[in-house]
Amino acid sequence: MGRTVTIIVVLYQFLIAPVILWFILLLLARNHGTRSFSTLFYVCIGITVVSILASIYLPQFAIFIIPVACVLLIQKFCYIGWMRSIIATVLYMAAMLVCSMLFDKATH
């Protein structure tokens, strides 16, 4: 069971999270910025790395660091404006929260 859960988490983080971000950017910035899978893949990996490092080294500030890093990564690498980047971050964080809750329910 443990190995299957690990494979599902890796599959989710590397394939599904960029697709969710692609869909969000499609809705918000259809004619602006970039939505290439490779760019979104690296943005999602960057968000994951920042989340892990902030949770380990600065857990009391992680709730502030992670959304700010997400906004900056999306704005910088997807070439969209600040307002769209903030809205995309809120939607992405909500989608990640819902997906993690569903994953937790499915595994318990």
Nearest CA among 83, 93, 70, 68 for reference residue 29: 83
Report the first-to-last Cα separation within the chain, whole angstroms. Answer: 11
Instruction: Give the pLDDT of residue 58.
Output: 92
21: Cβ contacts below 8 Å, ≥ 6 apart: 40, 43, 44, 74, 88, 92
Give the number of other CB atoms < 10 A from CB of residue 95: 16
pLDDT on residue 37: 87
Number of domains in the chain: 1
Q: What pLDDT is attached to residue 89? A: 95
Domain that holds residue 51: 2-107
Summarised one tens digit per residue, pLDDT across range 57-87 is 999 999 999 999 999 999 999 999 999 999 9
Low-confidence residues of the chain: pLDDT under 70:
1-6, 9
- pTM for the whole structure: 0.85
